[in-house]
Structure 1
Amino acid sequence: MKNIKKYIKRKISFLKKPLDEYKRNKRFRIRAKYSGYINKYKVKSDIIFYESYHGQNFTGNVLAIFLKLREMEQYSGYTHVIVCNELNPFIERFSLEKNVVVVTVDDDKYLKYLAKAKYLINNTSFPYYFIKRDEQIYINTWHGTPLKTLGIDIKNAGITDHKNIQRNLLQTDILVSPNEFTYKKLLKSQDIFEVFPGKVADIGYPRVDLTLNNERSKVLERLGIPNHKKVVLYAPTWRGSLGNESDTSKKLLDDVIQLKGFLGSEYVVVLKAHFFAYKYFKENNLEEICIPNYFDTNILLAGVDILITDYSSIFFEFLPTDRTVIFYGEDIELYGEERGFYLNLDTLPGPLCYKINEVAECIKNEGDTRKQYNENYKRYKALYCYNDDGNSTLRFIEKVLKNDTNHKFISTSSNKEKVLFYCGAFYNNGITTSVLTLLDNIDFNKYEVVVIESPEGNNEKWNNIKKVNSNVHFIYRPGELNKTIFESYRHQWILNRGVSGKMMEVVVPKDLYNNEFKRIIGNVNFDYAINFGGYSDFWGLIFAFSGVKNKAIYLHADMAEEFNKKINGKYKHKKTLKVIFSIYKYYDKVVSVAESTHKTNKENLQKYVPNATEKMTYVNNLVNDKKVNVLKDSYEVIQYNNTKYLILDQSHRSNFIRVKGTINPDPKDVNFVTIGRLSPEKGHEKLIRAFSAAIKQIKNMKLYIAGEGPLKEFLQELIVELNIKDNVFLVGQVENPFALINRCDCFILSSNYEGQGLVLLETMIIGKPIIATDVTGVRSVLEGGYGKLVENSESALAKNILEFALVKGEQGKLDYPKFDYIQYNKQAMERFYNVVLNNATIKNT
């Protein structure tokens, strides 16, 4: 009866969870509705969807394109969908037209039209949930030539801050660019230049046409400014932060008032402020000094005689007017130090002023100002404005919208084969060590390598990501799964049961996982997808149903043992591996990291893998010989309170240096060392008990254990309980364990099973004696006589610890063959190419 109640309770919870989430979570409802509309509606070829600046206003390139298409008879039968979150007189005028629909971001109409419009035109990015359907054409115009750095080039940016811009560009079919400089900086700053799947149209910005083709007098008339006045526009970048808009806005107000005072009645000074600053002025009844937010900046520039800006891209689009530009910003050099500029400020096409009175003097002496900066002005026009002839919008319609096959679009994607990795979250473990080495050895002349990752993580993760070879691109996954309520049930069912049996193969939401893959990587066509991590059920499903032709998944241990592994009484991997095992059949290669591990995994798991003899294989992990050989001799010994310490880790922060190490191994002692995660499979309890038994006979022995993990507290208590805290040291996780191995006499591995025992290879490079348990993943490493394989028991470890201590220094008894790590790595890399990247069929026994 009790079991029946638990079963019913579990089922009720399963049924309620998606419904409760739909009720409580607004973002879930939005994603669910959008997913439903994608499933429901076909793409309609007569709908054009326009969005600029996330719907904050309807201006710029998107407006220019709309205005031109609105005039053309060919597009009069189209539905034009404008995204604008707040109605204004400008938008209201268009909304009265029968074929124009105005929507706001995230509302139902927005979601429907985003799902079914054929043409999607944006100047920044669509929300996280957006996914471009195969029948849609996504045109991104971006919004300016960059003076200040973007994406990963920003000095103080977070590692993943650019993730949604990056994701949108990967879904872009056509990127409209004003010049070569812009598209190169934009794509490189998003880390996708060589893998960008779309085409670049270097045709100029449609919005510049609004500046060149509007009459000055008519613009001034709309603004109520007398035609005979000289118009000075102050258009700064917004420097504030959300919640603190007033600080920046008050400074703008003071500058405008002072400038008006300096210049007198001959001039009219107007301010074009950022959306947030304008909002502040409006709320404080000061909006008369501002040009309305909805008034397009490029139309405004047609009526301007002198432009004042700081590091905004607006000045690039003012240059074709041949009118004066002045740069002003008290903090512009500090901004450059904190964020960075792409161009040298000394080359700007106008004076750089730090005080508002300096700006006024430059305006009053405009003739001298222009003469002084004339050469810079001409150079900038030649480099950045070569497309600005007033016809960019027409070029856009003819070459982009009408898909002119004669136009030579630009492709930045390399011709190399493209390889996608999921690396396993970059924890401090053997998987990370292995993949870092592999990524350092791939032939980047032949392969374009991309790593896909979650944007969340701690310092441990980001420190490891910083170690990845600089040739590798990173794509970060923003947002969450787009799923309907029904898909939520199916997804959860798979996470609970895996894809085992005919019924579950029907239940599995393959389209959901394939769509999620496309939502992240966009239009990129990968030749290979390698799930190197091998433990994540989410990424396992995403890769399995990705549609990539060649898919491989790695097995880093005896996976049956991993399935049954318990930590503190709880199964560590059972739930996720149940899913992982069930989807091995969807991968082309199931790759163990050592031959003995492969044999064990094949014996235990071949029931999950059809054609296991062909699909299940192995590729030895590579070893980072350069790192080992450098770090083994890179250490420092310091003395504190009459005790010498070996420094194994240093970090610098502000004015502090943090050092980490352990008691320096004394040559008079017999020093043993082991490296590994403090987890059950590593057998540390067994080793400590064996060492405790051995030390009763030989006192001058020390054991150093480097690593972190869930058993740390238990092992600390065990060491105290056995009264060996002066002989056994838990060193923790350190950057340089190789110096410790080099300073000790013998490496000892007590694992119950391993994937490969990468640390054994590293120890073999250093040339230290090895004692290791004869288990899966270790056997194939040491079979060549590179160490001593012993029975996997406490008594065998104790016996061999004593034997080594007795013969320490008698070299004849400790003579091991030299490890040819160069040849080893060469063979491992060749096998990786043959097995994983060529999808070769290797017969395995």
Structure 2
Amino acid sequence: MANKIIKYFKRKIPFIKKPINEYKTNERFRIRSKYSKYLNKYIVRDNVILYESYHGKNFTGNPLTIFLKLSTLEEFQNYKHIIVVNENNPLVENFSKKPNVQIVSVDDDNYLKYLATAKYLINNTSFPYYFIKREGQIYINTWHGTPLKTLGIDINNAGMADHMNIQRNLLQTDFLISPNKFTYEKLLSSHDIINIFSGKIADIGYPRVDSTINSNREEVLSKLGIQSDKKVILYAPTWRGTVGNESDTSQKLLNEVLQLKERLGNDYIVLLKSHYFAYKYFEEKNLEDICIPNWFDTNVILAGIDILITDYSSIFFEFLPTEKTIIFYGDDIEQYAEERGFYLNIDTLPGPLCKEIEAVADNILKEGLIKDIYLDKYQKYKQSFCYNDDGNATDRLIDIIFRNKNKENTISVQTNKEKVLIYCGAFYNNGITMSALTLLDNIDYNKYEVVVIENPKGTDEKWNNIRKANKNVHFIYRPGVMNRTIFESYRHQWTLNRGISGKLMEMVVPKSLYKNEYRRIVGNTHFDYVINFGGYNDFWSLLFAFSEVKRKTIYLHNDMKEEFNKKIGGKFKHKKHLKVIFSTYKYYDQIVSVAKSTHETNFKNLGSLVPNASKKMTYINNLVNSKKVNNLKNRREYISYNGENYIVLEQNKNGNVIRVKGTQSPGSTDINLVTIGRLSPEKGHEKLIRAFYDALEIDNKMKLYIVGEGPLKSKLIEIINELNLTKKVFLVGQVENPFVLIKESDCFILSSNYEGQGLVLLETMIIGKPIIATDVTGVRSVLEGGYGQLIDNNESALRESIIDFARQYRKKECPKQKRFDYKRYNKQAMERFYKIVLSADGDK
């Protein structure tokens, strides 16, 4: 007995040590853990305001202007101001002398505490991945400019999830401060949330532009130590370098400034306002004297200058109210347009666009003429983008947010449609993905806003499938990882190890942890329905189960007991995850199988886990993408190679290179059988190959095509070689167009040991080919009624059915199958989907 106890505790030592070691050795875990502790421990403090600009790199722009105004108003003297700056500078040092101002830096303990407890959070970019806006906090995102160049998903060649943390921050935003309509529309649409953003938009102008309008030129120049009797030029380019290679562009900037100074002479003063990284480069080279200090607010500088030189920076929009000259300098305009892209036609810019620094100097020297030439464009830009710039934007902001006045002037862009959140299952090349994409193509987008939630990492396979999704669908991504304390880590891991079974685990499961993670991702967005369509991921199952959404549905795409017991290479494929997932079923309102027979099996095996299972467990047939099938089935293309004809099943063009994927063409004298499915144990491919081998003794003029990829590929190749079937059995792999192969073949055969539904059967029924399939869960309810031949699930029955089909085919006596009315089928499936999943009561 003692030995058993000792062994038990030895097994538990890694479990006990892991979170502690992680806390000690992983700085990011330690930060998230502390932040979680503050969230759990402290209340929100009503009179605390936290300001952050550009991730704490400096303290400028809108947050600075708001702080300066609030700190001078008598009614806010009892407020505490938390300024986030990672490096001290003269401006911030001066502020820190005030008793109600505290300086913190990103990720330090005080930052974490105030981020968790300050009522007002003001940011012009985004807070870190771990940030969660809690109940009682008010998040004001001011952003930082009118966009000339593209943002988010609009950026040419951008990764599909590169924008995810800004997207996540916007979803948590209560008030989005915008200088004009153009900006908020582009910002929200480029982050794929234009119709689901639940915050209010204050189209009131930028507080930071007040600094430009209300500052005095002589005073600004005096602070900079510059003579006011000279023409002052500010060169403010967009940063082009990459982190770690700052010298790539910084040296070029230096050369350009020196050229301008030499060409323009002593009547002009040239100032450089460089990016943070370029400024650091100049500091390291002791050349910072040619730059405006990084901490000096750009908008204040704009009040003191006479001419602005920029490229694609949004700074010029905020210089427009001064009605002074703007010159654009972009020697890489074509490359930048191709790589990044622009929202506005470059030909409409309110100033000349130069490609050489010498041309910039020439235009400066004829400034008066330039102003006349571009006057009309200048005024049009002012009317379109600067209609709020009257020097009072900060007052309007304070009225709306802090005084609770004029809120009726804010704008809402979210629609009145019900919102649906779906996890589709990682978008692998499988039946679940195809079913999800077809469902997304059939939802009524006049009634619903549909949001798909995904992890940001994946292969080309995943992103290719996501690109196929209906264009009405919003995609949001989960950046970072879950915030958790050491204690929450134990509870979470225990849940993953044991599932939520029994009263003890009901107490152990960290429900608040999952609720916080859900809120971290979706922010303020209120969803009416969540659908765990994938059904195989324990994390998303837990997250949706404990979300505060009024209706929750989880899909069962297979005989889940068989999936639970499935082994590949001697190891259980899904057992660990499904144990957890099964235990979450009781928290869902509907547990939906994808076919009637699948539901009957799942109800029999898993009904005991679900309270009120007879009402909660049901089925909705997967839809079939008839449009895709009918389109692709007729795309017959052939190529010849080494005297053999091949049918093309996939084409990919990359530049001037075309990659073609195909297989040996079905011969007219052969009987051609085809099957499609993942090369996995449940599909029964080994059984089919051996049955086919035996059938060849009766009719040697037959071929078998197996379409799909999977973990058993190597084993199937061994069997094919062992049986000398390399010229009879073809492993085609995963292809974009298997439908043309089905049409060119003579019979579809399915050898599965169990199925969810067998979507490929429906696709074959559309094409109208004969079907032979094992009479198993998920297949029976699809084919019963005359849509195909159901046979016993064994090798012998497969062999005999192949032989019988060959005999009948040779005699042209193949039995006719019932015609499949796929339009009626899809209509009925969608009616059940709306009635069961997207309804308040889920009546069947």
TM-score (norm 2): 0.99
- Displacement of 1:405 in angstroms is 5.0
How many Å separate the matches in 1 of 2:667 and 2:125? Answer: 62
Structure-1 residue corresponding to 2:244:
243
Task: Determine the structure 2 residue equivalent to 1:285.
Answer: 286
Deviations 1:261-288 (A, max 9, x none): 1111111000000000000001101011
Deviation at 1:8, TM superposition (A): 2.9
1: CA distance, partners of 2:747 / 2:84? 69
* 1:428 and 2:434 aligned: no
Q: Residues 163-188 of structure 1: CA distance to partner in whole angstroms, max 9, x if unpaired?
A: 00000000000000000000000000
Residues 648-674 of structure 1, C-alpha deviations (whole Å, 9 max, x = no match): 011122332111111100010011000
The SS at the match of 2:419 is strand
1:629 aligns with 2:618: no
The Cα shift of 1:332 comes to: 1.9
Give the alignment of 1:642-653 within 5 angstroms: 642-653=643-654
Q: Letter of the 2:159 partner, please give it.
A: G
Q: Find the aligned partners of 1:404 and 1:368 in 2 and give their Cα distance.
A: 46
CA distance in 2: counterparts of 1:61 and 1:405, whole angstroms: 20
* Pairing 1:761-840 to 2, within 5 Å after superposition: 761-808=762-809, 810=811, 812-840=813-841
Q: How big is the shift at 1:403?
A: 2.1
Instruction: Name 1:399's counterpart in structure 2.
Output: 400
Secondary structure at the counterpart of residue 790 of structure 2 = strand
Other-structure match for 1:573: 574
C-alpha displacement at 1:408, in angstroms? 1.9
Which residue of structure 1 aligns with residue 447 of structure 2?
Answer: 446
SS in 2 for 1:232: strand
Q: Deviation of residue 7 (structure 1)?
A: 3.2
CA contact (8 A) 2:235 2:272 kept: yes
Answer whether contact 1:563 1:573 (CA < 8 A) is retained. yes
Q: 1:724 to 1:273 in 2, by over 3 A?
A: same
Deviates more, 1:587-596 or 1:627-636: 627-636
Q: Aligned letter for 2:743? A: N
Instruction: Give the corresponding residue for 2:154.
Output: 153
Partner residue of 1:31?
32
CA distance in 1: counterparts of 2:693 and 2:508, whole angstroms: 54
**Residue in 2 aligned with 1:186?**
187
Residue of structure 2 equivalent to 1:669: 670
SS in structure 2 at match of 1:814: coil
**Unaligned stretches of 5+ residues in structure 2:** none
3-state secondary structure, aligned to 1:407: helix
In the TM superposition, what whole-angstrom CA distance separates every residue of 1:5-56 from its partner, at most 9, and x where no partner exists?
A: 6533320010001011111110000000000000110000000000000000
Give CA-to-partner distance per residue, 1:662-705, whole Å, 9 cap, x none. Answer: 11000100110000000000000111111111112210010000
CA distance in 1, matches of 2:322, 2:200: 29
- Cα distance in 2 for residues equivalent to 1:527 and 1:765: 35
Partner of 2:219: 218
In 2 relative to 1, CA 528–226 (structure 1 residues): closer, same or farther, beyond 3 Å? same
1:356 CA displacement? 1.0
Counterpart for residue 138 of structure 2: 137
Per the TM alignment, residue 530 of structure 1 is displaced from its structure 2 partner at its CA by 0.1
Q: Which residue of 1 is the match for residue 361 of structure 2?
A: 360
Name the aligned partner's letter for residue 631 of structure 1: L
Query: For 1:775-811, what per-residue CA distance to the aligned partner results, in whole angstroms no more than 9, with x for missing partners?
Result: 0000000001110000000000000000000111555
SS in 1 for 2:709: coil
Structure 2 residue 229 is matched with structure 1 residue 233: no
Q: How large is the RMSD of aligned CA atoms in angstroms?
A: 1.0
Residue 121 of structure 1 corresponds to 122
Deviations 1:745-773 (A, max 9, x none): 00000000000000000000000000000
Alpha carbons 2:31, 2:107 under 8 Å: kept = yes
Q: Identify the residue that residue 48 of structure 1 maps to in structure 2.
A: 49
Structure 2 match to 1:751: 752
Q: Distance between the aligned counterparts of 2:62 and 2:422, measured in 1?
A: 36
- Distance across 1 between alignment mates of 2:685 and 2:407: 68
Q: Give secondary structure in 2 for the equivalent of 1:837.
A: coil
> In 1, distance between residues paired with 2:4 and 2:758?
43
The aligned residue for residue 519 of structure 1 is 520
Equivalent pair of 2:167/2:191 in contact (CA under 8 Å): yes
Task: Report the counterpart of residue 13 of structure 1 in structure 2.
Answer: 14
Q: What's the CA shift string for 1:518-547, capped at 9, x where partnerless?
A: 000000000000000000000000000011
1:311–1:332 contact (8 Å) kept in structure 2: no
- Please say if residues 241 and 249 of structure 2, whose CA atoms lie closer than 8 Å, have aligned partners that are also in contact: yes
**Which whole-Å deviations, capped at 9, do the CAs of 1:175-233 have from their partners, x for residues lacking one?**
00000000000000000000001010000000000001110000000001011011000
SS at match of 2:71: helix
1:258 offset after TM fit, Å?
Answer: 0.5
- The Cα of 1:841 is off from its aligned counterpart by 4.3
Partner of 2:261: 260
Asked if structure 1 preserves the Cα contact closer than 8 Å seen for 2:126 and 2:166, the reply is yes
The answer to whether the Cα contact below 8 Å between 2:61 and 2:144 also exists between their aligned partners in 1 is yes
8 Å contact from structure 1 (residues 201, 400) kept in 2: no
Does the 8 Å contact 1:617/1:842 carry over to 2?
no
Deviation at 1:812, TM superposition (A): 4.7
Give 1:208's aligned residue.
209
* Alignment correspondent of 1:274: 275
Kindly state the Cα deviation for residue 361 of structure 1 after the two structures are TM-superposed: 1.1
SS of 1:512's partner is: helix
Partner of 2:697: 696
Moved more, 798-807 or 3-12: 3-12
- In 1, Cα distance between equivalents of 2:19 and 2:183: 44
- SS class of match (2:409): coil
Hey, what's the Cα distance between the residues in 2 that align with 1:635 and 1:272? Answer: 60
Q: Using the alignment, how far apart are the partners of 2:267 and 2:719 within structure 1?
A: 87
Partner of 1:601: 602
In structure 1, the residue matched to 2:486 is 485
Residue pair 2:805, 2:814 contacting (<8 A) in 1 also: no
Letter in 2 for 1:475: I
How far off its partner does 1:374 sit? 0.2
Name whichever of 631-640 and 608-617 sits farther off.
Answer: 631-640
Query: How far 1:3 moved relative to its partner?
Result: 6.6
User: Structure 1's 303 and 773: CA in aligned 2 closer, same or farther, altered over 3 A?
Assistant: same
Q: Aligned ranges for residues 337-352 of structure 1 at < 5 Å?
A: 337-352=338-353
1:412 CA drift (Å): 0.6
* Distance across 1 between alignment mates of 2:404 and 2:191: 26
Query: Which blocks of at least 5 consecutive residues in structure 1 are unaligned?
Result: none
State the secondary structure of the residue aligned to 1:561: helix
Give aligned-pair identity as a percent: 68
Contact 2:57 2:86 in 1 (8 A): yes
Greater shift, 400-409 or 593-602, is seen at 400-409
Q: Do the aligned partners of 2:455 and 2:478 also contact (CA within 8 Å) in 1?
A: yes
Paired position in structure 2 for 1:546 = 547
Q: Which amino acid aligns with 1:487?
A: E
Distance, in Å, in 1 between the alignment partners of 2:638 and 2:6 is: 63
TM-score with structure 1 length normalisation?
0.99
Q: Which amino acid aligns with 1:422?
A: Y
SS at match of 2:786: coil
2:658 alignment partner in structure 1: 657
Deviations 1:615-652 (A, max 9, x none): 00000000000000011111311111111111101112
Q: Does the 8 A contact of 2:399 with 2:406 survive in 1?
A: no
Report the secondary structure of 1:47's partner residue. Answer: strand
CA distance in 2 between partners of 1:710 and 1:677 (Å): 8
Residue equivalent to 1:712:
713
- The alignment of Structure 1 onto Structure 2 pairs a total of residues equal to 843
CA distance in 2, matches of 1:406, 1:105: 32
In structure 2, the partner of 1:679 is 680
Flag the 1:439–1:245 CA change in 2: closer, same or farther, 3 A.
Answer: same
Q: Is the 8 A contact 1:588 1:839 kept in 2?
A: no
Alpha-carbon distance between aligned partners in 2 of 1:401 and 1:667, rounded to the nearest angstrom: 79
Q: Is the CA contact (8 Å cut-off) linking 2:212 and 2:303 kept in structure 1?
A: yes
* Contact 1:309 1:328 survives alignment (8 Å): yes
